[in-house]
Amino acid sequence: MYVEKYAGRNDTGQYQIDRLDGTPALAWNYTPIHLWREMAESLLTIDRHGIIPLIGLTNIQQPSTILSQAVAHIRAVEDEAKRQLLFASLLALMSDEEHIAMIEKLVESDELLTNTPYLRRIRREGQIDAKREATLEVLVKRLDPSAQIYLDIERQLQLITDLELLDELFSAVLDANTVEEFTAVLENKREPK
């Protein structure tokens, strides 16, 4: 089963191990599943709640319909702990920000699903990653650093997990006139206060 987009696209479902003379010593056939090619609707037709989170890895043509149905399937699970796990898994496997927002909107009245410690941590990590990416994007567009300096700044930003500090650095890259000016701010912010 391939889950990453375009992974295994050339897999024919046939494999063999050859002898030294090139003749097959062992050969077998299998059916490769390219989850990223599958239509989300096909997972909804399978009556297994445990596979619903995999919808986030499929091809979703009608997000409002599909995501509403996925949430309904999860809500049908009687065990509260399983329901929370399924919902957390669905959000964790979803990569499209608009789809994530749709799901959160669909379940916003269900506090137990949206406010688990796991989801709070995942949302915070997402905010931190987004702020790092935004800072690097602005850095490139505004200050055009060399590849080496970019990689060094990227490495330093990866070490920072404080969202407030990342906000300050984002503001600093917007205000900086040169790469050197921004790197000086970055070095200063890294030192203990």
pLDDT digit string, tens, across residues 13-72: 888 899 999 998 999 988 888 777 777 888 888 878 888 888 888 888 888 888 888 988
pLDDT of residue 171: 94
Q: What is the pLDDT of residues 103-116, one digit of tens each?
A: 877 876 665 455 56
- Radius of gyration for the alpha carbons in the chain, expressed in angstroms and rounded: 23
Cβ–Cβ under 8 Å, residues 169 and 158: no
pLDDT of residue 110: 61
Question: Of 118, 63, 115, which is closest to residue 89 (Cα–Cα)?
Answer: 118
Rounded Cα distance, 107 and 10, in Å: 39
Question: What are the beta bridge partners of residue 39?
Answer: 59
Q: What is the pLDDT of residues 160-190, one digit of tens each?
A: 999 899 999 999 999 999 999 999 999 988 6
Rounded Cα distance, 139 and 152, in Å: 12
Q: Which helix (H) or strand (E) holds 130?
A: helix 117-143
Domain boundaries, the chain: 1-37, 40-114, 121-190
pLDDT of residue 119: 64
151 confidence band (pLDDT: 50, 70, 90): very high
Place of tokens 């702990």: 81
The answer to whether residue 1 scores a pLDDT higher than 80 is no
89 confidence band (pLDDT: 50, 70, 90): confident
Specify the 3-state DSSP secondary structure of 2: strand
